[in-house]
Amino acid sequence: MANEAPVAWVTGGTGGIGSAICRALAKEGYQVVAGYHNPEKAKDWLASQQAEGFDNIALSGIDLTDYDDCVAGVKEIRNQFGPISVLVNCAGITRDGTMKKMTSDQWHEVIDTNLNSVFNTCRGVIEDMLEQGYGRIVNISSINGRKGQFGQANYAAAKAGMHGLTMSLAQETATKGITVNTLSPGYIATDMIMKIPEKVRETIREGIPVKRYGTPEEIARAVVFLADKESGFITGANLDINGGQFMG
């Protein structure tokens, strides 16, 4: 049965940045639904959140690349917890490679997971948000969607595309109590950046004006801000959080 707490759905909720977002929103009193991809990892992840007292976080194993699964999953979340007020699109993967080496599979996997998923989730929640006359959508993009990145044609295209969706949906929903924004993290200390070869990673870190990677918590606090009821005049915006690495 639905409880009183507003519902926040965080895709990629069990990942590095996603975990911090789930915990920050849970601390704000949301009923958080964390999306996951790997069921075994998700089970352990939830147990550790609960061990730390986060009993308002639940799991949802929706396949974000499958439109029908997203629509059905949103319905399940609504039935279990109530309509979704906050959607954070944080699920994302990398399949880095220069164009001459990138396979068609690497291209499509990234576009499906990082961009098509955002259509699927937004389409899934938008009717309920319109009906409620309220909603907050935060799309977690990337510095590399803003500036491009050697070896990331697929990822940069998906992340740049995300902001096009943000600006369009923001216009469609501006008079309906719904805001849609993009947040573009720079290099954040998570497993994702540990996949970059160490030498390349060190060069990147040196190029960040604050001379360090960001923390997941530094992204989560901005999500809480954008998701707040009082942030209703911020829509269609992109917020860069990158230690000064790109100032667009």
Least distance (Å) from ligand CAA to the CB of residue 200?
4
Least distance (Å) from ligand CAA to the CB of residue 190?
8
Q: Applying CB under 6 A, does 102 fall inside the site for ligand CAA?
A: no
Q: Which is nearer to ligand CAA, 97 or 236 (CB)?
A: 97
Find out whether 5 and 33 touch, Cβ atoms under 8 Å.
no
The two tokens of residue 194 are 């540990």
The sheet carrying 7-11 orders its strands as: 57-60, 31-35, 7-11, 84-89, 135-140, 178-185, 238-241
**DSSP characters over 80-121:** HH--EEEEEE---------TTT--HHHHHHHHIIIIIHHHHH
Least distance (Å) from ligand CAA to the CB of residue 234?
22
Of 102, 130, 192, 237, the residue at the interface with ligand CAA (CB under 6 A) is 192
Query: Of all residues in this chain, which one has the CB nearest to ligand CAA in the complex?
Result: 151
Q: Applying CB under 6 A, does 30 fall inside the site for ligand CAA?
A: no
Q: Applying CB under 6 A, does 194 fall inside the site for ligand CAA?
A: no
Give how far Cα 189 sits from Cα of 63, 154, 202, 208, 219, Å: 26, 21, 12, 13, 11
The two tokens of residue 209 are 């004006």
From the candidates 36, 155, 187, 213, give the one annotated as an active-site residue.
155
> Which 82-101 residues touch ligand CAA, going by CB under 6 A?
94, 96-98, 101
187 part of the active site: no
Binding mask 133-162 for ligand CAA (x = CB under 6 A): ---------xxx----xxxx--x-------
Alpha-carbon torsion 18, 19, 24, 28, what sign?
positive
Q: Applying CB under 6 A, does 103 fall inside the site for ligand CAA?
A: no
Phi-psi category of residue 177: left, alpha or beta, with phi > 0 → left and psi -120 to 50 → alpha: left
Catalytic residues, by residue number, are 155
Contact residues for ligand CAA (CB under 6 A)? Answer: 94, 96-98, 101, 142-144, 149-152, 155, 187, 192-193, 196-197, 200
